[in-house]
Amino acid sequence: MRLSRFTALSSSLLLGAVLALTGASAAQAAETAALDYVALGDSYSSGVGAGSYDSASGDCKRSTKAYPVLWKNANAPSSFAFTACSGARTGDVTANQLGPLSAATDLVSITIGGNDAGFADVMTTCVLQSESTCINRVNQAKSYVDTTLPGKLDSVYTAIRGKAPAARVVVLGYPRFYQLSGSCIAGLSEGERSAINGASDYLNAAVAKRAADHGFAYASVVPAFTGHEICSGSAWLHSVNWLNIGESYHPTAAGQSGGYLPSFRGAV
């Protein structure tokens, strides 16, 4: 008798637990499906370097392999707007990308600030000129990050919050580009690679600080990309590509799916 009652009680508790978990999962799925998601930003969000570009996006080069699309495909939100654009600066976001935002928007993602800080020019200088010139250009970019970029980020973040007052906003950073003492036997010096990595950390710190001050979530991609930098032997970033210069120093499709997507998913 006692054994039968114990078995019945155990079965009831197990059934209750299963139903509770199933209900929670269903509720979570329903909540995700009800999301209205807008993806903003620059080439790291549009997916430059990942290939499979939507021809309708033109020079913005929005990829079907970019993390916003991958997240959308996995979670089926009720609406999805993808306005991120290659080459975008903070002013481009406020001028051209915020149209889909509204009071109904639940989720926003963005990478921005790298183009304002002159990332492309830094890399061009470092590839083509001397180490001392490279490091001087890196220091100029860091000075810009100190003096000018915070105000530009404030303008973007304030505009996003004004148009989407209830949204969870996830600001994603940029990877470190080089594994130091790695497999590369040519190209930039270790001093140049170290300076570029330091500049990326510097930019990320500034972006994270401004995001936090606006109440936004910040998602670092550095941990996910560790072991997959240029010179790692398993790079998720394109090195300089003279045949397709625009894809240089951008994430590959693996960098979007293995680096940016899980970082974004964790912040969401």
> Which amino acids are annotated catalytic?
43, 250
Q: Which residues contact 237 (CB under 8 A, 6 or more apart)?
A: 49, 175, 177, 225, 228, 229, 230, 249, 250, 251, 252, 255
Burial readout 128-153 (b: 16 or more C-beta within 10 A, e: otherwise): eeeeeebbebbeebbebbeeebbebb
Which residue type is seen at 252?
T
DSSP secondary structure, 38-98, as one string: EE--SHHHHTTTS--B-GGGGGG--BTTSHHHHHHHHH--SEEEE---TT--HHHHHHHT-
- Angle, helix 190-213 to helix 119-128, in steps of 10 degrees: 170
Rg (CA), the chain: 22
- Angle, helix 190-213 to helix 131-147, in steps of 10 degrees: 10
Distance CA(135)–CA(149), nearest Å, equals 20
